[in-house]
Amino acid sequence: MKRLSVIVPVYNEEKMVPRTSAVISKILEKAKIDYEILFVNDGSKDMSWPAIAKECENNPKVRGICFSRNFGKEAAMFAGLECVRGECAVIIDCDLQHPPEKIVEMYRLWEAGYEVVEGVKSDRGKESLFHRILAKLFYKIISRITKIDMENASDFKLMDRKVIDVLNAMPERNVFFRALSSWVGFKSTQVSFKVHEREEGVSKWSAWALIKYAFSNIVSFTAAPMQIVTVMGTGFFFMAVILGIQSLVYKFMGRALEGFTTVIMIELLLGSIMMISMGIIGFYISKMYEELKGRPRYIIVQKLNEQCEE
């Protein structure tokens, strides 16, 4: 039987590691699916790594990777993809908000010939109104930019080995897994799921962290914000032409001083737009700088149970 690899990014989830390991193992063993579980410790500050080490001792099918520091969830997912040995792999959150029982359904669809099985949220669970609005706005923007429907997308997905190899071969350092795994194509289908409530702990995502995550991923995946700067510049050029004509007309009519407030408002607005534009351009330049340096996405300091090649 072909092996399924389960990749579990971990950040400060010491209480959930044993629970997640036990639940996934039980489900896959009951379904008679050969598997491995790969926990990727993303620089946790609690006792997550000792908890992973204990699971590796108790179950030879559990493996562990430990980063030297926190590199982010995207890095943890790609580290898992580069180290798994299964013919297919699924990524699932350690908090079990992604329902692990859906893994079996995904695996059966993969056996039927699908190469990517997307987990699509039918319900986002209990989120604050502000969180829902931010998430909806972000996915509307990224869907419009990428021409890929991502409004209910998630990192919860199963991929065939050929898809994993394509993603691993991509040299870019700043990656947006959720969009990139859809962009590569392949024969795909969807599985809907409802987001479960967290059994332990609290969400690691604050509103500010979500905003930074959204902007960073949009910039890393597309140059559309640069085009927005161009569109704004073009719009203000036509506005400047209209205001210029208006100013000349007022001058010849002897009413030039009446437009003073308008001039101040326009200058303030243009100054703000220019600063925002420079900030966007600077962000792209910083991303280019990071790519040119060629630093690794992550640094692994320890591996447990049947180490994989780096």
**What DSSP assignment string belongs to 17-36?**
HHHHHHHHHHHHHHTT--EE
- Mind listing the pLDDT tens digit for each residue in 55-99? 988 888 999 999 998 888 888 888 899 888 889 999 998 888 888
Q: How far apart, in Å, are the Cα atoms of 161 and each of 54, 128, 301, 310?
A: 29, 37, 26, 17
With a cut of 90, say whether residue 285 has pLDDT above it. Answer: no
Question: How long a stretch of residues is the chain?
Answer: 310
Lowest pLDDT segment from 87-96, 102-111, 172-181, 284-293: 284-293
Lowest pLDDT segment from 148-152, 294-298, 305-309: 305-309
- Which two structure tokens, joined as six digits, stand for 93? 């959150």
d(CA 242, CA 247): 9
Give residues with Cβ within 8 angstroms of 259, minimum separation 6: 246, 247, 250
Single-letter amino acid, residue 57:
E
Q: How far apart, in Å, are the Cα atoms of 179 and each of 17, 96, 206, 217?
A: 27, 22, 22, 9
Lowest pLDDT segment from 56-60, 96-100, 284-288, 296-300: 284-288
Alpha-helix residue ranges (DSSP H) falling in the chain: 16-30, 48-58, 73-83, 102-111, 129-146, 161-169, 177-183, 207-221, 224-252, 260-293
Say whether 300 sits in a helix, a strand or coil.
strand
More confident call, 273 vs 159:
159
With a cut of 60, say whether residue 221 has pLDDT above it. Answer: no
pTM of the predicted structure, to 2 decimals: 0.66
d(CA 80, CA 90): 10
With a cut of 60, say whether residue 310 has pLDDT above it. Answer: no
- Mind listing the pLDDT tens digit for each residue in 232-272? 666 766 666 676 676 666 666 666 555 555 666 666 667 66
| Segment (H or E) for 62 | strand 62-67
d(CA 171, CA 294): 9
